[in-house]
Amino acid sequence: MDTKVIKINEGQENMDMLVEAAGVLREGGLVVFPTETVYGLGANALNNNAVKGIFEAKGRPSDNPLIVHIHSIEQLESLTSDVNDIAKAAIKAFWPGPLTLIFNKKEEVSNLVTAGLNTVAVRMPKHNVALSLLRIANVPVAAPSANISGKPSPTQAIHVIQDLSGKVEYIIDGGSCDVGLESTVLDTTLTPPVILRPGGISLEQLQEVLGEVAIDPALAKRQVIGGITSDPSIEDNDITPRAPGMKYKHYSPEAEVTVVEGQTDKVIQFINNKINEYKNQNKKVGVLASTENIDFYKDAVVVSYGSKNNPELIAASLFDCLREFDNKKVDIVFAEAVGTEGIGFAIMNRMNKAAGYKIIKV
């Protein structure tokens, strides 16, 4: 299939093109659109064939449910009749924005979208192009991140073009995504509400508005792994994450990734030792480092995710950095860990997943 790439900047929406893309989306086509988190691969959630197309284009396992994107609260009412006080408070504070809420679903919501679960994930994105597209199409839109399953999520149109050219009708290029990591997924059907995936809205922000907020045990356990190289198979068999998508290896470049945690000088020393070790084996080593540290690494492909003092920027650049290692064809990557406060929780969740939970504490 021919993929049309159209450039639409926020604030200068070219309505003719957007109307055309929205029509195709409504009639069952696949349309990639920018959001504030990552690019989404959209299909009309009311059209089962269109939804099937998402799973085919991404190579996504069919047991991994999709997030439904909406532009208005009226649309939410077509998906659930169960919006409790916690959910109402979360909507008031964070929608539109990078927060996905899980609700008990209405009968009519397709089992293909929810992968057979009796709950549905819903989000209202904070991006003018996305909201205009959703408004014009005027159907709920199922949209996972617009990457091939397993790869880092796309934060620029070029990432989508690499992954999905020829597999979708439209790619709307809206420039770089501001947040750069996916939305936080919060299950509001449980008391207290539970974070199933850390993301653009932090635990601290949720606690401030909602009071007590729990973390899916599968996630918390994974986040505190340390001490020694962890065995990913033990982690996976131990506790099943409540968000099906969280159990898959994900976000990975072709190269094997190892996360290194600890005091800065020790991290630098450890990674330099590894660079030498692998150089002797004729392996091309990549290092994912903060700008403060890049000059300490020699004889490696060093990619900087930004300053340790600006975690928001690290979040925004992480996926692009991971893809950069593929472009540079490195064999093995060592990544400097960051703190887990605020957005750091989500950054480290994605970095650890990219590493298949291979984490070394020095």
**Chain positions contacting ligand TXA, by CB under 6 A:** 35, 37-38, 40, 64-67, 98, 100, 102, 114, 117, 119-121, 123, 125, 143-145, 182-183, 185, 196-197, 242-246
145 or 258: whose CB is closer to Mg ion? Answer: 145
Considering the complex, what minimum distance in angstroms separates the CB of residue 60 from ligand TXA?
8
Considering the complex, what minimum distance in angstroms separates the CB of residue 267 from ligand TXA?
30
Considering the complex, what minimum distance in angstroms separates the CB of residue 212 from ligand TXA?
20
Considering the complex, what minimum distance in angstroms separates the CB of residue 283 from ligand TXA?
31
DSSP 303: E
160 or 300: whose CB is closer to ligand TXA? Answer: 160
Considering the complex, what minimum distance in angstroms separates the CB of residue 221 from ligand TXA?
17
For residue 143, what are its two tokens? 């949209």
Contacted by 218, from ligand TXA, Mg ion, none: CB < 5 to 8 Å by type: none
Are 134 and 44 spatial neighbours (Cβ–Cβ below 8 Å)? no
Contacted by 51, from Mg ion, ligand TXA, none: CB < 5 to 8 Å by type: none
Q: Write the DSSP string, 146-215.
A: SS-TTSPPPSSHHHHHHHHTTTSSEEEE--S-SS-SPPEEEETTSSS-EEEE--SS-HHHHHHHHS--EE
Considering the complex, what minimum distance in angstroms separates the CB of residue 236 from Mg ion?
18
Strand pairing partners for 141? Answer: 44, 69
42 or 261: whose CB is closer to Mg ion? Answer: 42
Q: 222 burial class (0-12, 13-18, 19+ CB within 10 angstroms)?
A: buried
Neighbours of 244 (CB within 10 A): 16
52 or 266: whose CB is closer to ligand TXA? Answer: 52
CA diameter of the chain: 62
Considering the complex, what minimum distance in angstroms separates the CB of residue 294 from ligand TXA?
29
Contacted by 230, from ligand TXA, Mg ion, none: CB < 5 to 8 Å by type: none
Grouping H, G, I as helix, E, B as strand and the rest as coil, residue 305 is strand
Grouping H, G, I as helix, E, B as strand and the rest as coil, residue 300 is coil
Please identify, among the stretches 141-149, 207-215, 275-283, 327-335, the one whose residues bind Mg ion according to the rule CB under 5 A. Answer: 141-149
26 or 69: whose CB is closer to ligand TXA? Answer: 69
Q: How many residues bind Mg ion (CB under 5 A)?
A: 1
Contacted by 168, from Mg ion, ligand TXA, none: CB < 5 to 8 Å by type: none
Considering the complex, what minimum distance in angstroms separates the CB of residue 276 from ligand TXA?
38
Determine the residue with CB nearest ligand TXA.
Answer: 245
Q: Write the DSSP string, 31-90.
A: EEE--SSS-EEEEETT-HHHHHHHHHHHT--TTS--EEE-SSHHHHHTT-S---HHHHHH
Neighbours of 318 (CB within 10 A): 26
77 or 277: whose CB is closer to ligand TXA? Answer: 77
Is residue 145 at the binding interface for Mg ion, with CB under 5 A as the rule? yes
Q: Residue 42 and residue 361: Cα distance in Å, rounded?
A: 40
How many helices and strands (H and E) does the chain possess?
13, 16
Q: Write the DSSP string, 4-19.
A: EEEE--TTS--HHHHH
200 or 286: whose CB is closer to ligand TXA? Answer: 200
Considering the complex, what minimum distance in angstroms separates the CB of residue 329 from ligand TXA?
26
Tokens 């990913």, located at residue: 232
Tokens 């480290």, located at residue: 348
Contacted by 130, from ligand TXA, Mg ion, none: CB < 5 to 8 Å by type: none
Contacted by 38, from ligand TXA, Mg ion, none: CB < 5 to 8 Å by type: ligand TXA
Contacted by 102, from Mg ion, ligand TXA, none: CB < 5 to 8 Å by type: ligand TXA
Is residue 149 at the binding interface for Mg ion, with CB under 5 A as the rule? no
Q: Residue 152 and residue 145: Cα distance in Å, rounded?
A: 9
Residues that bind Mg ion (CB under 5 A): 145
